[in-house]
Amino acid sequence: MNTIPVKQVEAGAGEYRKLTVNIFRHNPQDENSVPHMDTFEVEEADSMTLFILLNEIRENQDPTVQFDFVCRAGICGSCAMLVNGRPKLACRTLTQELPQVLNLAPLPGFELIGDLSVNTGKWMRNMSEHLETWIHNREQERDFCDLEEKMEPEVADKIYELERCVECGCCIAACGTAQMRSDFVGAVGINQLARFKIDPRDDRTDADFYEVLGTEEGVFGCMTLLGCDDMCPKELPLAQQIAYMRRKMALAEV
């Protein structure tokens, strides 16, 4: 695929640009479909996001353009895509902050559904099942009518910070290891296990975490390029969590 040049043209006060939008098109279910780029022109509007721009294209120019969205508020993570080569959430990206020529492509590392739509849910489910990203408690039976155990506010704040991950896939798309190794759990997986590592309700030991994370497909496969930390739309401390879990796994007694 030829690289389409990107030219930066700033809009002046009260001015709106005519945006040139190059969108990756391919339907893997159609044996006759050939990957290519389609070009559209859209007049920029005030406070326009990529989500609004794509809806404008689908409603007025080509109803077959495929892309995902649910919440439109940066919470569901569905609308992640490559924008001029960088993973972003379409609903949180203003066109006024981008060049006049936009190249949109699907996130790499995930199964392509069509055009800009990828199956992040399948990847995230496989990762979650592999890492067992749920609270492990060795008590045989629990009374769910009991009051929840108290937790220190500082610990709850740390857990909440890591729970803000929306599993958008931007960290996987920005990860060199994930593009070379399909079994790499990525920053999203490491972050999730770090969240359970600090949760006092989880009974697992460092040795237990090592069984699922202390491998080349886990934390030791990370090349520390930190594209995940740079590209996370929620600005999670992913580099910090990778370093934390790598240190814990290196010292684990197994």
As a whole number of angstroms, the distance between CA 151 and CA 239 comes to 26
Number of compact structural domains in the chain: 2
CA-nearest of 222, 97, 133, 105 to 172 is 222
List for the chain the helix, strand, coil content (%; round to 5). 35, 15, 50
| Mean pLDDT in residue range 53-80 | 95
Name the pTM for this structure: 0.88
As a whole number of angstroms, the distance between CA 238 and CA 144 comes to 33
- Asked whether residue 71 carries a pLDDT value surpassing 50, the answer given is yes
| Mean pLDDT in residue range 45-68 | 97
Element containing residue 104 per DSSP (H, E): strand 101-105
Note the pLDDT of residue 118: 98
- 38 and 68 part of one domain: yes
Contact 65, 58 (CB under 8 A): yes
- 124 and 233 part of one domain: yes
- Asked whether residue 113 carries a pLDDT value surpassing 60, the answer given is yes
Token pair in block for residue 190:
């490491």
Contact 244, 209 (CB under 8 A): no
- Is 201 a member of any domain? yes
Q: What is the CATH number of the domain that holds 43?
A: 3.10.20.30
The pLDDT tens digits of the residues spanning 139-148 come to 767 777 888 7
H helix count then E strand count, the chain: 9, 7
| Mean pLDDT in residue range 229-245 | 96
Note the pLDDT of residue 147: 81
> Do β-strands 18-25 and 101-105 pair in parallel, antiparallel, or remain unpaired?
parallel
Note the pLDDT of residue 203: 93
Helix boundaries (H) for 31-185 = 50-60, 120-131, 153-163, 170-173, 176-180
- Asked whether residue 158 carries a pLDDT value surpassing 80, the answer given is yes
CA-only gyration radius of the chain, Å: 21
Q: What is the CATH number of the domain that holds 223?
A: 1.10.1060.10
Task: Please give the mean pLDDT across all residues of the chain.
Answer: 92
As a whole number of angstroms, the distance between CA 51 and CA 46 comes to 13
| Mean pLDDT in residue range 5-26 | 74
- 80 and 195 part of one domain: no
- 24 and 107 part of one domain: yes
* Domain extent for 82: 18-118
- 98 and 188 part of one domain: no
- 59 and 181 part of one domain: no
- 90 and 127 part of one domain: no
Note the pLDDT of residue 14: 56
- 31 and 100 part of one domain: yes
If one counts every other C-beta atom within 10 angstroms of the C-beta of residue 45, the result is 13
- Is 230 a member of any domain? yes
- Is 133 a member of any domain? yes
- 162 and 218 part of one domain: yes
